[in-house]
């Protein structure tokens, strides 16, 4: 960030904070509506999809502004998604098979979410994204 005006840096910090506030509040709401591993799975999969879209959109189309990507990816999604809660909830599951299943499902759907986001980002440009 060398050469960046201090006000631009401050603006980015504030925007990331606003995104983080929104993401953490949505995370809390989802946890209230879907408690336990199901809610954590939901936010992590949706977050993976949106992150895949936002980051691949920059590669394929570049329509979103860099600041938008920073607010969404670094602010909102980093507060919405949660690896630590996933890890804790997994260790608290009653049976080892449920632990293994939770890990496999979370990672499988998370990677699938990123790939689906990438696929959508390719369509934004109208091309194949190659």
Cα torsion at 55, 61, 65, 70 (round to 10°)?
A: 0
- As for how many domains the chain has, the answer is 1
Average of per-residue pLDDT values in the chain: 92
Residue 1 lies in a domain: no
Residue 82 lies in a domain: yes
Does 15 or 1 have the greater pLDDT score?
15
* Residue 102 scores a pLDDT above 60: yes
pLDDT of residue 77: 95
Report the SS3 class of residue 63: coil
pLDDT of residue 55: 95
pLDDT of residue 40: 97
Element (H, E) at 21: helix 6-33
Residue 32 lies in a domain: yes
Residue 128 lies in a domain: no
pLDDT of residue 97: 97
Domain containing 111 equals 6-123
pLDDT band at 44 (very low <50, low <70, confident <90, very high): very high
pLDDT band at 126 (very low <50, low <70, confident <90, very high): low
Element (H, E) at 129: none
Residue 46 lies in a domain: yes
* Residue 114 scores a pLDDT above 60: yes
Residue 129 lies in a domain: no
pLDDT band at 128 (very low <50, low <70, confident <90, very high): low
Which whole number is the average pLDDT over 1-30? 90
């Amino acid at each position: 960030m060398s050469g960046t005006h201090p006000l631009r840096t401050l603006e980015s910090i504030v925007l990331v904070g606003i995104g983080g506030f929104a993401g953490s509040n949505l995370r809390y709401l989802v946890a209230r509506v879907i408690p336990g591993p199901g809610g954590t799975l939901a936010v992590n999969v949706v977050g993976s999809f949106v992150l895949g879209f936002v980051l691949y959109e920059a590669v394929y189309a570049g329509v979103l502004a860099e600041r938008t990507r920073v607010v969404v990816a670094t602010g909102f999604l980093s507060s919405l998604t949660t690896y630590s809660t996933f890890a804790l909830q997994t260790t608290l599951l009653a049976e080892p098979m449920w632990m293994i299943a939770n890990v496999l499902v979370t990672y499988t759907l998370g990677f699938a979410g990123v790939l689906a986001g990438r696929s959508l980002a390719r369509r934004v440009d109208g091309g194949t994204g190659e």
